[in-house]
Amino acid sequence: MRRTRRKNIEPAKRRERGEAIRETAAHVVVQLLSAAALLGLRCLTVRVWLDNLLLIVAVMDLITIPFSFVVLRQRLREIERGEMDEARKY
């Protein structure tokens, strides 16, 4: 069975979905830029330990990207179910 996206999503939910997707995309871009900057700085270093440290930090930056997509998926499910709307009532 194939899932299709609902076309009659409420405007508030559509806005929340768009914001969540934009925020995740911005996070991914920032992480990629910071990893690229760290790898660029790595070419300028003379010390081996600093070279290795920059590599480790760049890899740690890139590790967060798949987890951000997992969080985005969870957030989109919350929006779909209306969990935030229920929580706002209290």
Gap between the Cα atoms of 75 and 6, Å rounded: 17
In a domain, 41, yes or no: yes
Q: What mean pLDDT is predicted for residues 63-73?
A: 96
Q: Is the pLDDT of residue 72 over 90?
A: yes
In tens, the pLDDT along 9-55 reads 688 888 999 999 999 999 999 999 999 999 999 988 889 999 999 99
- State which residues form the domain around 50: 13-84
Tell whether the torsion through CA atoms of 84, 74, 29 and 32 is positive or negative.
positive
Examine residue 21 and state whether it is found in any structural domain, yes or no: yes
In a domain, 5, yes or no: no
Position 12 scores a pLDDT of 82
Rounded CA separation 77/57 (Å):
31
Residue 90 domain-assigned?
A: no
The answer to whether position 17 is within a domain reads yes
Q: Is the pTM of this model over 0.85?
A: no
Number of domains in the chain: 1
- In this predicted structure, the answer to whether residue 1 has a pLDDT above a threshold of 70 is no
Q: Residue 5 has what DSSP assignment?
A: -
Per-residue pLDDT tens digits for 79-90: 888 876 677 776
Q: Is residue 2 part of a domain?
A: no
